[in-house]
A = this chain, B = another copy of it.
């Protein structure tokens, strides 16, 4: 199975991505982009997209970006992440771009950025830093 196939197979098992109607739009070495459309079902109280929806999609984008650089027989696990919300998430669609900053044997640090797209405009709305962990097949759980 190619790296992209592994990523697509794992992404397809994430029930939350289906619930958010999020789609994997790019899988490259150390970089993954995920998109989703505006939907009132994903809103916060002012009608913008909820930070939690953007964060979920960024977490998946970063995790899969890390997975593209990991050995074939391992799993990826999120250790921690931090987001800053830069602007209200208003737009027709949203793209979350995850990329690897440093890949280590056990831990991989990723950076993620989400953009709101409205017509031809693309606005930076969230920035994330995340730590991902390589989980070998003999490891039962995180930590």
Contacts and interface: CB of A to CB of B under 8 A. Distances in A.
Q: How many copies does the complex hold?
A: 4
Interface residues of A, number: 55
A111 B84 CA distance: 11
A16 B41 CA distance: 5
Secondary structure of the A side of the interface?
mixed
B104 A142 contact: yes
Nearest to A107: B143
A124 interface: yes
Interface of A: 10-11, 13-16, 18-19, 39-46, 50-53, 55-57, 59-60, 75, 77-88, 101-102, 104-109, 111, 124, 127, 129, 131, 133, 141-143
